[in-house]
Amino acid sequence: MNVSYNYWKNLFFFCLGLAIGSSLCMKWMEADFWVGNEKFTVMGLELFYSREKVTAILRGLDPQVKRILVYHLYFDFVFMAGVFPAAAALCIMAGQKLISRWGRRFLLTLATLQLLAWGCDFIENCLLLNWIYNLVITDDFYYFHLLVITKFVIILAGLSISIIIIAIRYRKKSPGHLMDNSVNLS
């Protein structure tokens, strides 16, 4: 079954809209992420803060901030439903621009790996929600960081490689690329 480029493009734009809409909601909520007089970020919780700092932040959350953080993570589930299928669609679109069978297979593999990245992000959010509700960070903190890193590597690889391929192919087809290369010898 050969699904057309326009199908993937429409799926990409729909998912991109879903991702942008949910990310704007999450960004709006981040203004309330304070513990005492210290601001924290979800990216910090996911990637940069130590286990001790994450524990201190989660235990120090005001009930209102805790509720907003939980809402933020629920919106992140919506964001996931947009960003990972968008990345997969972009990989498939880029693959359709290639002649090389190896290149198409590579991009199809990157598209399929977006499911793994989505799974990593889903588990990561579930762990974070569990820690928020139970105020105990279990021994899976290293596993948590491994999930976050895996997710970012897969999605960034898929997005960057696809965007580069599509941009190169678009540039080759654009009228400005076919400029007059004649030489004036006068």
pLDDT above 90 for 151: yes
pLDDT, position 173 = 73
CB 158 within 8 Å of CB 113: yes
| % of the chain surpassing 90 pLDDT | 84
d(CA 133, CA 129): 6
CB 169 within 8 Å of CB 97: yes
Per-domain residue ranges of the chain:
5-172
Confidence of residue 106 (pLDDT cuts 50, 70, 90): very high
Confidence of residue 13 (pLDDT cuts 50, 70, 90): very high
User: Under DSSP, is residue 38 helix (H, G, I), strand (E, B) or coil?
Assistant: strand
Which structure tokens are listed for 38? 């210290």
User: Under DSSP, is residue 33 helix (H, G, I), strand (E, B) or coil?
Assistant: coil
Amino acid at 135: L
CB 140 within 8 Å of CB 128: no
pLDDT, position 175 = 62
pTM here is 0.88
Mean pLDDT, range 126-133, rounded to an integer: 95
Which structure tokens are listed for 176? 């400005």
Among 2, 11, 167, smallest CA distance to 87 is for 11
Confidence of residue 138 (pLDDT cuts 50, 70, 90): confident
Which structure tokens are listed for 53? 């700092």
